[in-house]
Amino acid sequence: MEENSKPRPNYYWSIFAMTCPRCRRGPLFVSKNAYSKITMSNILDMPETCPECGQRFHLEPGFWYGTGYVSYALTVLFSALTFILWWLIVGFSLDDYRLFYWLGFNAILLIVLQPWLMRLSRSVYLRFFIKYDEDYENTDPKTYS
């Protein structure tokens, strides 16, 4: 192993930390906190390129429409997880309103987590198209036309 080599950032940590998929070091979003100002421009404001490796994030017009599918999958997964946890902790019965309490609880959680889920879906979706490059400092970023 070389003395000057940088450690390889963890794949999953880079998704949740919302860093560039190519170098896994540069931030994907201008503001680190999605909740600092609840506006669409603050939540989804991304730089044109990664400040670390120069990779373009907006690969083509309409590129981010695909994140709707990723966001949908994340919300279904999250809802299934809360359903299982509610079932294990509280339980369900046809004799009372526990199912409706879970629906309300889940809806409130999804609304509160929506800014973070929108960012996470962009982070996951971008990794379908841009792969990690260990030698990102010496190679050109991938371009699309």
List all residues 6 or more positions away from 18 whose beta carbon is below 8 Å from its beta carbon. 27, 28, 29, 119, 120, 122, 123
The predicted model scores a pTM of 0.84
Parent domain of 45: 11-126
Residue 142: inside a domain, yes or no? Answer: no
Cα pseudo-dihedral 90, 95, 97, 99, rounded to 10: 60
Sign of CA dihedral 113, 32, 125, 66: positive
Query: What confidence tens digit (pLDDT) does each residue in 88-121 have?
Result: 998 888 788 888 999 999 999 999 999 999 999 9
Average pLDDT over residues 53-79: 93
Residue 69: inside a domain, yes or no? Answer: yes
Rounded to the nearest 5 percent, the helix, strand and coil shares of the chain are 45, 5, 50
Does residue 145 carry a pLDDT above 70?
Answer: no
Residue 57: inside a domain, yes or no? Answer: yes
Alpha-carbon distance of 118 to 68, in angstroms, equals 9
Total of domains in the chain: 1
Does residue 1 carry a pLDDT above 50?
Answer: no
Residue 137: inside a domain, yes or no? Answer: no
Residue 1: inside a domain, yes or no? Answer: no
Residue 91: inside a domain, yes or no? Answer: yes
